[in-house]
Structure 1
Amino acid sequence: MEIPNPPPFVTLPSELIHHILSFLSLRDLLSLGLVNHALHEHSLEDTLYQPFVQFHVPGTTLTKPSASNWRELLKTHHPYWFISRNKIWFADSLHTGKVLIARYDPRINAIEAYALVAERRQPALTTWAWNPDAVVHTFSPRIQLDLNAPVVRLDPTAYGNATGFGIRQVQKEIPMSLYGDPPRASAGLYSRLMLTRPWPEEITDESTAIWPPLILPSSSRTINSSATQFRDENYRPSRLSELSTTTFRVRKWMEFSSRPHGISMRVGEDITTWATLPEECYTPTAQKPWQGIWCGDYASHGCEFLAIIQPDDPKPLPERAEWAMRARERQGSVSSSDSWSTAPTDAIEEQEAVHTPDVETSLADSVATLQATTPNERSPSPIPSLTEDDSAYSGRIEAIKLTGDPNIPRGEYTFIAPDIGPNGLVRVATEDMFKGARIVRSVGHIAARGFRDNDFIASQLILISHNRLAQYWETFGHVSFYERVDVDALIKVS
């Protein structure tokens, strides 16, 4: 019998074939392996899979796995690698939220995510020469991961037999061991991870219960309200093509057992939906140097985390923010209403604690007094014109809370500087505290407890450096500070 000639491609030297295959996507590489026996053997070359694994582990250069090979390692955590690849995850937990930093730990072959926390430390009161009456406290937060227990841990034991590149059990809830080995099952604490599917954009509006909210950039969103506690299979992908790689869920509960009767009772079930941000939206560039994840000083509320974004095509300002900017132009520095609501100051917190309808008028009068005596936009130095070196000073800066408090919850604006260019410039500071910093017009978001009567008031954003900002809340005569979070330093496994 005449043996057919092999395809010319497979007659090439193996090194050249492998080099060509290195340009294929994972899907194409796996498909190529189904063509014939020769190409299947070439598709198994282990070095072809190292770039795919490394792509999902930013910030750390991996060495060859000791217990397996690159292909097996990639299969083990497929399709959950997106959790470590996206690094930053924030929760829809009511009011407060939470931020996770995700990473892959090669020492235990696990994808983990830990809560990002910050210690405010004891502040000191300082004097601002430009406005000695302003309340200015130092801010030097200690930012770290809470390594006591992960919020997410995915290791080979969690997946069971559901591993591989095919259509794995994407609807399965993955049990996570969060408290060591063996897990603390005896304490009745359980946690499972669920995959999600994107919610259709064409049926999404401001009233849709989705996460992340529309004011945060995202390539896809998912529903975060369910009458069945997300037990309905329609909430989860049925195939890999339906999988959202920008959201996931965690189901947590406690379980008590009655030993004499062998009856278990589940209580306190809680489901959290997590979302990530597109990396290009929080990565600083030469033209957008303030983009990033930041930690802010919110006085008695402690430290909170926010995303600072410099959008190319910003949405219209919220209506009350627009009113505050227009009122400022007409009357000087005033809020859009006589709101007494919160800014991040201890004094205002005390006002909230005693708020009743009977005292609202006196509190509004107190704000009016502050407005009358605070030096807002007096400029001790001429406003210089921008030069080519100042090209970064253009466009808008938006600060959106990733964590929140009872007044302004997670997923809401905390401040907006509509134009950091020449049209928004107030002055360049000459006083020692902020010397050389550009100060631009902005609006700050305030509200009473429960996010009631939310409003925007005039403020000034002080661009101290690319890693440090300050916000002068004119109405309250208070300065709060913000520090950049070094995300890349946190994802390194020490």
Structure 2
Amino acid sequence: MDELRVSPFLTLPSELIHHILSFLSLSDLHSVGLANRALHQHSLQDTLYQPFVQSHVPGQTVIKPKNSTWRELYRTHHPYWFIPQNKIWFADNAHTGKLLISRYNHHLNTIEAYALVAERRQPTFTTWDWNPEAIIHTFSPKIRLDLNVPIIRLDTAAYSSAEGSSPYRLQREVPMDLHLSPRASAGLYSRLMLTKPWPPAITTAATPVWPPLILPSPVRTRNDSATHFRDHSHRPANTSELSTASFRIRKWMEFASRSQGVSMRVGEDITTWATLREESYRPTKQKPWQGIWCGDYAGHGCEFLAILQRDGETPLPERAEWAMRARERQGSLSSEESWSTAPTEAEAMDIEGDELGALHEHLLEDSVDTLHASVEEPCSPLAELPDEEDESVYHGSIEAVKLTGDPNIPRGEYTFIAPDIGPAGLIRVATEEIFKGARIVKSVGHIAAQGFRDDDFMASQLILISHDRLAQYWETFGHVSFYQRVNLDEFTKVQ
């Protein structure tokens, strides 16, 4: 009778059963393993777990550590595999932020992440025939990982030392004591915490969440807490509550007193980290400028930004909209005059007749003394496009959001916006040698006083030099700044 009850599925050869099981998700594989003893044994087949490990380490062939199985490797780092899977992580540190590159290190069997840094090499001055008075310095940054100190290092020792009073493992803080010396009287301690998504239904522009709303992300987490995230309500009790798009790091200094045998903990800081979906920053044939870029911010050095290409029209920040409208109104002015900044709130009101003339005069008085060149808008811009140019890529907008920042424009804020890189936004196609053949489109640049006070947008021109290099002409400042694409694949692989 027992033989009659055997499922026909289990009479199949083991190789065929394993092949069928290989199409299941991890949760479905676990569910099948609970059906009966025979299926449980089949679900433990080690080769079934290799794809689950590999899927979390894109762009790199995972090598299994010695004396380990694929199943053991997966379980060791579960549920932290999402950290190397997402590759890039950016922080909410006040003003400056930080950008991490995460990866799996098969040599050490660790999940690790290092800060991406850029050095501004000594620039040289160059001239622009179209505007000889413009200030242009070359930009060739040296971009590298800071391998001296990892920001994240997760291994079996870290997981086994997880701290916290919660009975749930995922709510405990995982120690990453990366900067300790046995003889040092002080050490920098850090702990990694998992997060829960913040409900989109109760998220508004005033809600403190990370990543900020201007970045595309289906999942955000709250990044303020009266208890410094010590209460368990901010942490997942199980994997169904887990956010795989964010985590936190608690960091502090600890000083030891050798005479009294006690230690003192000071300077606690909590940083929330978020990622971007790869499809939002990976370039495609139709969106070739998407990506992670490094920009030249002069005295502030190099900063990293996400350049996003959006389809169709997207709402602009209010003052950016004012700056664009001010640019459009300049059609009634001389071709050698340009408006540079958004009007004040009073000037942004609909004004007609004599009031419009007064507004023209007021803006010119504020801006014309600082302008060095005109904004030329040919009557038939399409006629100037090179024959070999693929016109289909020129559509929608280009938005640049800082992933790292400075005291003026901090991380998580726009740095420039080109609302339409298509025919409606085209200013001209450059014929001068330095930018020859580059499409130049209308844009606005973000400016502010220190502490991100009195932020505003001013008219600028985005110069599409190539798919890996951009420039922005700040009309009021008479300055050209450059942006260079970052090759992420160069930093995510472990040799």
In structure 1, the partner of 2:348 is none
In structure 2, the partner of 1:289 is 288
Report the CA distance shift for 1:295/1:214 in structure 2 as closer, same or farther (over 3 A): same
Matches within 5 A, 1:315-394: 315-331=314-330, 333-337=338-342, 367-371=367-371, 373-377=372-376, 383-384=382-383, 389-394=390-395
Report the CA distance shift for 1:449/1:275 in structure 2 as closer, same or farther (over 3 A): same
Report the CA distance shift for 1:203/1:2 in structure 2 as closer, same or farther (over 3 A): closer
User: How far apart are the structure 1 equivalents of 2:408 and 2:17?
Assistant: 61
Are the equivalent residues in 2 in contact too, given 1:134–1:478 (CA < 8 A)?
A: yes
Report the CA distance shift for 1:185/1:107 in structure 2 as closer, same or farther (over 3 A): farther
User: How far apart are the structure 1 equivalents of 2:248 and 2:303?
Assistant: 22
In structure 2, the partner of 1:344 is none
The offset of 1:384, in angstroms, is: 2.3
SS at match of 1:409: coil
Are the equivalent residues in 2 in contact too, given 1:383–1:428 (CA < 8 A)?
A: no
User: How far apart are the structure 1 equivalents of 2:202 and 2:71?
Assistant: 40
User: How far apart are the structure 2 equivalents of 1:147 and 1:287?
Assistant: 35
Are the equivalent residues in 1 in contact too, given 2:196–2:236 (CA < 8 A)?
A: yes
Q: What do residues 112-164 of structure 1 show as CA deviations (whole Å, max 9, x unaligned)?
A: 110010001101000011111100000000111100011111011100177xx
Q: Percent identity between the aligned chains? A: 70
SS at match of 2:289: coil
User: How far apart are the structure 1 equivalents of 2:316 and 2:323?
Assistant: 10
SS at match of 2:279: helix
User: How far apart are the structure 1 equivalents of 2:184 and 2:242?
Assistant: 30
Matching residue's letter, 1:396: S
In structure 1, the partner of 2:146 is 146
User: How far apart are the structure 1 equivalents of 2:20 and 2:311?
Assistant: 38
Report the CA distance shift for 1:157/1:114 in structure 2 as closer, same or farther (over 3 A): same
User: How far apart are the structure 1 equivalents of 2:447 and 2:479?
Assistant: 13
User: How does the TM-score come out when normalised to structure 1?
Assistant: 0.90
The offset of 1:177, in angstroms, is: 3.4
The offset of 1:184, in angstroms, is: 8.4
SS at match of 1:317: coil
User: How far apart are the structure 1 equivalents of 2:476 and 2:368?
Assistant: 8
User: How does the TM-score come out when normalised to structure 2?
Assistant: 0.90
Matching residue's letter, 2:249: V
Q: What do residues 229-256 of structure 1 show as CA deviations (whole Å, max 9, x unaligned)?
A: 1101111111111000000000000112
SS at match of 2:393: coil
SS at match of 1:479: strand
In structure 2, the partner of 1:441 is 442
Matching residue's letter, 2:341: S
The offset of 1:199, in angstroms, is: 0.8
Matches within 5 A, 1:150-189: 150-160=150-160, 169-179=169-179, 187-189=186-188
Q: What do residues 311-353 of structure 1 show as CA deviations (whole Å, max 9, x unaligned)?
A: 23653101111111111111253133479xxxxxxxxxxxxxx
User: How far apart are the structure 2 equivalents of 1:327 and 1:320?
Assistant: 10
Q: What do residues 56-95 of structure 1 show as CA deviations (whole Å, max 9, x unaligned)?
A: 1112112333230111000000000000000000000000
In structure 1, the partner of 2:476 is 475
SS at match of 1:71: helix
Q: What do residues 97-118 of structure 1 show as CA deviations (whole Å, max 9, x unaligned)?
A: 1100000000000001100100
Are the equivalent residues in 1 in contact too, given 2:313–2:419 (CA < 8 A)?
A: no
Are the equivalent residues in 2 in contact too, given 1:192–1:251 (CA < 8 A)?
A: yes
Q: What do residues 420-461 of structure 1 show as CA deviations (whole Å, max 9, x unaligned)?
A: 011111111111111111111101111111111111111110
User: How far apart are the structure 2 equivalents of 1:2 and 1:31?
Assistant: 23
Report the CA distance shift for 1:280/1:382 in structure 2 as closer, same or farther (over 3 A): closer
Are the equivalent residues in 2 in contact too, given 1:367–1:476 (CA < 8 A)?
A: no
User: How far apart are the structure 1 equivalents of 2:32 and 2:342?
Assistant: 65
User: How far apart are the structure 2 equivalents of 1:276 and 1:184?
Assistant: 37
Report the CA distance shift for 1:374/1:385 in structure 2 as closer, same or farther (over 3 A): closer
Are the equivalent residues in 2 in contact too, given 1:385–1:422 (CA < 8 A)?
A: no
In structure 1, the partner of 2:349 is none
In structure 1, the partner of 2:347 is none
The offset of 1:4, in angstroms, is: 4.1
User: How far apart are the structure 1 equivalents of 2:312 and 2:210?
Assistant: 21
SS at match of 2:83: helix
SS at match of 2:171: coil
Report the CA distance shift for 1:245/1:142 in structure 2 as closer, same or farther (over 3 A): same
Q: In terms of mean alpha carbon deviation, does 414-423 or 263-272 score higher?
A: 263-272
User: How far apart are the structure 1 equivalents of 2:151 and 2:99?
Assistant: 10
In structure 2, the partner of 1:61 is 61
Are the equivalent residues in 1 in contact too, given 2:92–2:411 (CA < 8 A)?
A: yes
SS at match of 2:233: helix
Matching residue's letter, 1:312: D
The offset of 1:381, in angstroms, is: 9.4
Are the equivalent residues in 1 in contact too, given 2:381–2:427 (CA < 8 A)?
A: no
In structure 2, the partner of 1:132 is 132
Q: In terms of mean alpha carbon deviation, does 279-288 or 259-268 score higher?
A: 259-268
Q: What do residues 381-406 of structure 1 show as CA deviations (whole Å, max 9, x unaligned)?
A: 95427788310011100000001111
Aligned CA RMSD, in angstroms, stands at: 2.1
Q: Which runs of 5+ in 2 are unaligned?
A: 332-337, 345-363
The offset of 1:259, in angstroms, is: 3.0
Matching residue's letter, 1:476: F
Are the equivalent residues in 2 in contact too, given 1:381–1:430 (CA < 8 A)?
A: no
Matching residue's letter, 2:488: V
Report the CA distance shift for 1:459/1:13 in structure 2 as closer, same or farther (over 3 A): same
Tell me the matched-pair count.
464
Matching residue's letter, 1:444: G
Matching residue's letter, 2:414: Y
User: How far apart are the structure 2 equivalents of 1:314 and 1:87?
Assistant: 30
User: How far apart are the structure 2 equivalents of 1:476 and 1:106?
Assistant: 50
Are the equivalent residues in 2 in contact too, given 1:383–1:426 (CA < 8 A)?
A: no
